[in-house]
Amino acid sequence: AMDPEKKEAIKKDLIKFRNGKDYYKKVGKPWKRGYLLFGPPGTGKSTMISAMANFLDYDVYDLELTTVKDNSELKKLMLETKGKSIFVIEDIDCSLNLTGQRKKKEEDDEDEVDEQEKKEAEKKLMRERGEKESKVTLSGLLNAIDGLWSACSGEKIIVFTTNFVDNLDPALIRRGR
């Protein structure tokens, strides 16, 4: 069960967001909010998303990034969705190869070679199955959720989930995202 104080803080934040249309218009910010839910499997991440949607009476869109063709299609999907929506990208660390796009300096060359071999094997398997590789990039995802266009459609919440928050690119988890 969730800590009652944490639960109340999230509810207050959701109410503030839902009632914030005039505030967002006044300050010139896109009317959107982002959450990162993380923890081991079975800790209630998906349940929390359902509770948020029920509490706000918002629609939920489960965005499977591996099925999105490219950055343009991602942007189009998000633009064409009405307000009062929650976009969910579950297991963001597994959805695409977004986590390793900015290599950490301390990685050694051997790890990089192993990772590259793994990626190539995954691509080959996808080709054999007739699947197309998604061309969504970290930059494309960040632009879709934060870019200039995000001011065009409001009252949207974006939720990322992960079991391994330490595997995420710092750009995905910075405050305000």
Confidence at residue 113, expressed as pLDDT on a 0 to 100 scale: 59
In angstroms, rounded to a whole number, what is the distance separating the alpha carbons of residues 143 and 121? 29
Residue with tokens 């969910």: 88
Closest CA to 150 of 49, 68, 28: 28
With respect to residue 18, please indicate whether it lies within any of the assigned structural domains: no
pLDDT tens digits along 93-148: 887 665 444 444 344 445 555 666 665 665 555 555 445 567 888 888 888 887 76
76 in Cβ contact with 143 (< 8 Å)? no
Both tokens of residue 94? 């597994």
CATH code: domain of residue 136: 3.40.50.300
Centre a 10 Å sphere on the Cβ of residue 116 and count the other Cβ atoms it contains. 11
With respect to residue 43, please indicate whether it lies within any of the assigned structural domains: yes
Q: Which amino acid is at 59?
A: D
State how many domains the chain has.
1
Strands (E), 7-164: 32-38, 59-62, 85-89, 156-162
pLDDT tens digits along 82-91: 889 999 999 9
Q: Which amino acid is at 1?
A: A
Q: Which amino acid is at 96?
A: L
123: domain range?
Answer: 29-94+108-173
With respect to residue 19, please indicate whether it lies within any of the assigned structural domains: no
With respect to residue 22, please indicate whether it lies within any of the assigned structural domains: no
- Spell out the residues 6+ positions from residue 62 whose beta carbon is closer than 8 angstroms to its own: 88, 90
Residue 102 three-state SS: coil
Residue 43 three-state SS: coil
110 in Cβ contact with 176 (< 8 Å)? no
pLDDT tens digits along 10-68: 999 999 999 999 998 899 888 889 999 999 999 899 999 999 999 999 999 999 988 89
With respect to residue 12, please indicate whether it lies within any of the assigned structural domains: no
With respect to residue 17, please indicate whether it lies within any of the assigned structural domains: no
User: Pairing state of beta strands 59-62 and 32-38?
Assistant: unpaired
Write phi, then psi, for 4 (nearest 5 degrees): -55, -35
Both tokens of residue 83? 């307000």
With respect to residue 158, please indicate whether it lies within any of the assigned structural domains: yes
